[in-house]
Amino acid sequence: MSIKENLLAIKKNIPDTVTLVAVSKTKPMSYIQEAYDEGQRVFGENRVQEMTEKWENMPKDIEWHMIGHLQRNKVKYMAEYVSLVHGVDSPRLLAEINKQAEKHNRVISCLLQVHIAEEDTKFGFNEEELLDLVANEEFKAFKNVKIVGLMGMATFTENMDQVRREFASLKSLFTKLKSNYADFTTLSMGMSGDYNIAIEEGSTMVRIGSSIFGSRN
């Protein structure tokens, strides 16, 4: 199957209300161009340097999403153009994004990453830390970041009941926060192997790489 065919098959499979982030990390710009030519405009990357190189060389109406674990000292390189940061996993990172966004007179949209997996290898806040953060006056005063929702990754497992349970727990946390925070619109969950379950459990944004561009090394 070609990138075009993969993309069309996935789009047919997801509702119009769910945003597709085409995860192009490690893949060449020619692959991105192929998806772009089919109308795809939202791409996800997990390394700032690679994303910046692609941003510099690709059409300017692409929305670049940073989906990976982000180091604070890299934020400055993408503050000019990044459109959504999915993996905000510490208050210090949020503060740095605010600081760098201010230098460019921008408001950068961010998702708080929640630790939902039973594995302990994945980054993110637990529920208590999350509730503390969104209620914190210091963070509420930030003018150059806007927290628009949550992001999570399920455990890497064949056990789809467990995956479903983890997504459901993230959705319930999202619903709880959404009633208090008007900016909460986005729930980023679901990848190639589990996006159908994620959508059934309330995802509004899926991050799909290998099912579009082929497997990575």
Ligand X SMILES: *Cc1c(COP(=O)(O)O)cnc(C)c1O
Residues that bind ligand X (CB under 6 A): 23, 25, 46, 67-68, 153, 191-193, 207-211
Which residue, 132 or 156, is less far from ligand X as judged by CB? 156
Taking the complex as a whole, how short is the minimal distance between the CB of residue 158 and ligand X, in angstroms? Answer: 14
Distances (CA, A) of 39 to 22, 43, 71, 113: 11, 12, 31, 28
Which residue, 7 or 142, is less far from ligand X as judged by CB? 7
**Alpha-carbon gap, residue 121 to 102, rounded angstroms:** 32
Taking the complex as a whole, how short is the minimal distance between the CB of residue 41 and ligand X, in angstroms? Answer: 17
Which residue, 91 or 193, is less far from ligand X as judged by CB? 193
Taking the complex as a whole, how short is the minimal distance between the CB of residue 177 and ligand X, in angstroms? Answer: 20
Longest dimension (CA), the chain: 51
Taking the complex as a whole, how short is the minimal distance between the CB of residue 85 and ligand X, in angstroms? Answer: 12
Which residue, 147 or 154, is less far from ligand X as judged by CB? 154
**Alpha-carbon gap, residue 87 to 213, rounded angstroms:** 22
Residues comprising the chain, all counted: 217
Residue 37, judged by CB atoms within 10 A of its CB (0-12, 13-18, 19+), counts as exposed
Which residue, 2 or 136, is less far from ligand X as judged by CB? 2
Query: Cα-Cα-Cα-Cα dihedral of 70, 71, 76, 77, to 10°?
Result: -60
Which residue, 35 or 67, is less far from ligand X as judged by CB? 67
Taking the complex as a whole, how short is the minimal distance between the CB of residue 182 and ligand X, in angstroms? Answer: 26
Handedness of CA 134, 125, 143, 182 (dihedral sign): negative
CB nearest ligand X: which residue?
209
Amino acid at 128: E
Taking the complex as a whole, how short is the minimal distance between the CB of residue 180 and ligand X, in angstroms? Answer: 26
